[in-house]
C-alpha cells in the first residue's frame, strides 16, 4: 500500500488530471525499473505473525533498519510506519507485511543487487531479535483473527469498508503478499500499448509466480489464492479493464475510470479523513461531504489513484500487479519478465501480436484459470503453459536485444534473471506445485515445515 503522496498544488482545471499522468513520460534512455516486494514476518520460536509493537515486532524491525543501516523514518501519529533511503522506501501492509519499494534503477542487475542488499539487512536485524521472513502469496496457516493491524489510518478505514463491497477484501489486506514492477512509458500511445500487453499477459505472470496454495493450514484448491482474492474483492476498482482495449483509450479515458471509483479517504495534516464511498467528481466541484467547500490538490488525486487495484495500474508509470510474493530468486525474475516484454520495441510488438486477437471474455477466463491451475490452466482453447513458453521466449529476446551488461561486463545481458521462469516452462511446475508436492509427500500434511524450508 502506498504512503501519502506529496507535492501537488491545487487542481484548477480538469485537464490537470491527465496532465499529471502525462508528466511521467520519459524518453527511452531515461526508462527505469522499480521493483517492489512484500514478505511475511514471524517469530522464529512460535511461528506466529509479528505484532506492531514489542521486542519482536514490526516496529523493532523498522527501528533496527533505521539505526543500523541509515534509513530515515516515516512517522504517522508518532508511530514509525516506514523508511526512506536513496529513492527507495520500506513500508507496511495492513497485516505487517514488510514491503520494499525499490528506487528507479537502470538495469535488472542493479535492481537485483538492491533486493539482495535489502534482504541481507532485513536478515541481520531479524536474527538479532528472533524473527524470520518468508515470501509467499498468502499466509499459509494464520487466521484472519491472528493478523495484527498496523497503525495506519487508511487501513482502519479500508478494513470496515471491505466487507461492504466484496467477500475477500480483508484477506487481501492482511494475508497476502506480492512482487511487482513499475515501468515507464514514452508517450500516450506507448502507455496504451504497454498497458494492453500488461493486462492481457498478467495471467501468465500469475501462473508463473503462483505461490499461495494454502490457507488456514490446508490446501485451498487454488495455485494462487491471492489471485482468487482479487477476483472477489471490489469490482469497482479491480479486474482486467475491458475499456483499455477499446478505441479512444488514452490518459483521459484512464482519468474517467479513476474518477468513477469511489473514494476511501482524504489525507490532511497527518490524518486520514473518512471519505468512504464518496465521489472525487464531487470533490472537484467542492462538494465532497467529508470536506464541504474544499477542492482537491494534485496530491489528493495522486492518493486517489493508489486506491484502484486492477491487474495493471497507471500512475506516472505502469505497475504490473499479478504476481504472488515468492522466494528470493524469483524476486528478480518478475522485473526481468516485464522489462524483456515491453522495454524493447521488437519484443513489445511481438507480445502485442500474441494477444491482440483476444476478446474480454478470453482475458478474464485466462485470469481465472491462472489462479486456479497455474500453468495447467486453459481458457478458450489457450493453454497457459504454451502461452507462458511464448511470453518467456519473447522476454528473453527482449532482454538480449537490450544488451545491458552486468558484473563489470562479464555478464553480457539480463537474460539469466529469467532462468527460474525458463525452468518452470520446461517442467510445467511453478512454486505452488512444489509446495503442494511437499505437503502431500515428505511433509505428510505438516504445513509448519514450510517456515524452515522456505524462509529467506
Q: pLDDT at position 5, please?
A: 57
Q: pLDDT at position 3, please?
A: 55
CATH number at residue 107: 3.30.590.20
C-alpha cell at 212: 499461495
**Domain assignment of residue 256, yes or no:** no
pTM comes to: 0.96
349 pLDDT above the threshold of 80:
yes
How would residue 94 be classed by pLDDT, with cut points 50, 70 and 90?
A: very high
**pLDDT (tens digit per residue) in 146-160:** 999 999 888 988 987
Q: What is the DSSP string of 114-146?
A: HHHHHHHHHHHHHHHHTEEEE--SB-SS--GGG
**Domain assignment of residue 17, yes or no:** no
**Domain assignment of residue 368, yes or no:** yes
**Domain assignment of residue 129, yes or no:** yes
Q: Which of 7-21, 55-69, 142-156 has the highest mean pLDDT?
A: 55-69
2 pLDDT above the threshold of 80:
no
State the sign of the Cα–Cα–Cα–Cα dihedral 447, 122, 334, 264. Answer: positive
**CA count, 13 A, side-chain hemisphere, 332:** 23
Count of domains forming the chain: 1
Q: pLDDT at position 396, please?
A: 98
DSSP secondary-structure letter at 94? T
Q: Identify which of 149, 144, 120, 181 has the alpha carbon closest to the alpha carbon of residue 50.
A: 149
**Domain assignment of residue 274, yes or no:** no
Residue partners of 24: CB distance under 8 A and separation at least 6: 184, 185, 315, 316, 317
Radius of gyration for the alpha carbons in the chain, expressed in angstroms and rounded: 21
Q: Identify which of 386, 324, 434, 421 has the alpha carbon closest to the alpha carbon of residue 108.
A: 421
**Domain assignment of residue 95, yes or no:** yes
**pLDDT (tens digit per residue) in 195-248:** 999 999 999 999 999 999 999 999 999 999 999 999 999 999 999 999 999 999
Q: pLDDT at position 316, please?
A: 98
Q: Domain range for residue 399?
A: 35-241+316-454
**pLDDT (tens digit per residue) in 313-323:** 999 999 999 99
**Domain assignment of residue 279, yes or no:** no
**Domain assignment of residue 28, yes or no:** no
Amino acid at each position: 500500500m502506498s504512503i501519502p503522496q506529496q507535492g501537488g498544488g491545487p487542481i484548477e482545471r480538469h485537464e490537470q488530471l491527465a496532465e499529471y499522468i502525462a508528466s511521467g513520460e520519459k524518453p527511452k534512455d531515461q526508462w527505469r525499473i522499480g521493483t517492489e516486494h512484500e514478505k511475511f514476518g514471524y517469530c522464529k520460536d512460535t511461528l506466529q505473525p509479528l505484532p506492531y509493537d514489542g521486542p519482536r515486532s514490526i516496529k523493532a524491525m523498522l527501528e533496527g533498519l533505521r539505526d543500523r543501516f541509515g534509513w530515515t523514518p516515516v512517522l504517522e501519529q508518532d508511530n514509525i510506519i516506514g523508511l526512506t533511503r536513496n529513492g527507495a522506501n520500506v513500508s507496511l501492509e495492513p497485516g505487517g507485511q514488510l514491503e520494499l519499494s525499490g528506487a528507479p534503477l537502470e538495469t535488472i542487475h542493479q535492481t537485483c543487487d538492491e533486493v539482495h542488499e535489502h534482504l541481507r539487512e532485513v536478515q541481520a536485524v531479524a536474527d538479532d531479535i528472533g524473527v524470520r521472513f518468508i515470501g509467499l502469496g498468502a499466509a499459509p496457516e494464520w487466521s484472519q483473527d491472528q493478523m495484527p493491524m498496523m497503525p495506519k489510518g487508511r487501513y482502519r478505514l479500508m478494513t470496515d469498508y471491505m466487507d461492504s463491497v466484496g467477500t475477500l477484501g480483508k484477506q487481501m489486506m492482511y494475508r497476502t503478499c506480492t512482487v511487482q514492477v513499475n515501468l515507464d512509458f514514452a508517450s500516450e500511445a506507448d502507455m496504451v500499448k504497454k498497458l494492453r500487453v500488461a493486462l492481457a499477459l498478467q495471467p501468465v505472470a500469475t501462473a508463473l509466480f503462483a505461490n499461495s496454495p494454502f490457507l488456514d493450514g490446508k490446501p485451498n484448491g487454488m495455485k494462487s489464492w491471492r489471485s482468487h482474492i482479487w477476483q472477489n474483492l471490489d469490482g469497482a476498482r479491480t479486474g482486467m479493464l475491458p475499456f483499455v482495449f477499446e478505441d479512444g483509450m488514452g490518459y483521459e479515458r484512464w482519468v474517467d475510470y479513476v474518477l468513477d471509483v469511489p473514494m476511501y479517504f482524504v489525507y490532511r495534516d497527518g490524518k486520514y479523513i473518512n471519505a468512504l464511498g464518496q465521489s472525487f467528481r464531487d470533490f472537484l466541484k467542492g462538494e465532497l461531504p467529508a470536506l464541504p467547500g474544499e477542492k482537491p490538490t494534485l496530491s489528493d488525486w495522486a492518493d486517489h489513484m493508489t486506491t484502484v487495484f486492477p491487474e495493471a495500474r497507471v500512475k506516472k508509470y505502469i505497475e504490473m500487479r499479478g504476481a504472488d510474493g515468492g522466494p528470493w530468486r524469483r524476486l528478480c525474475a518478475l522485473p526481468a519478465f516485464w522489462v524483456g516484454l515491453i522495454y524493447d520495441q521488437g519484443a513489445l510488438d511481438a507480445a502485442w501480436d500474441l494477444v491482440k486477437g483476444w476478446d474480454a471474455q478470453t482475458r478474464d477466463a485466462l485470469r481465472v484459470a491462472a489462479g486456479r491451475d497455474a500453468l495447467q490452466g486453459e481458457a478458450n482453447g489457450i493453454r497457459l503453459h504454451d502461452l507462458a513458453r511464448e511470453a518467456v521466449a519473447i522476454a528473453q529476446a527482449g532482454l538480449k536485444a537490450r544488451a545491458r551488461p552486468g558484473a563489470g561486463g562479464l555478464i553480457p545481458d539480463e537474460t539469466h534473471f529469467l532462468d527460474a521462469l525458463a525452468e518452470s516452462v520446461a517442467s510445467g511446475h511453478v512454486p505452488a506445485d512444489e509446495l503442494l508436492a511437499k505437503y502431500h509427500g515428505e511433509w505428510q500434511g505438516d504445513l509448519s515445515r514450510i517456515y524452515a524450508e522456505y524462509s529467506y
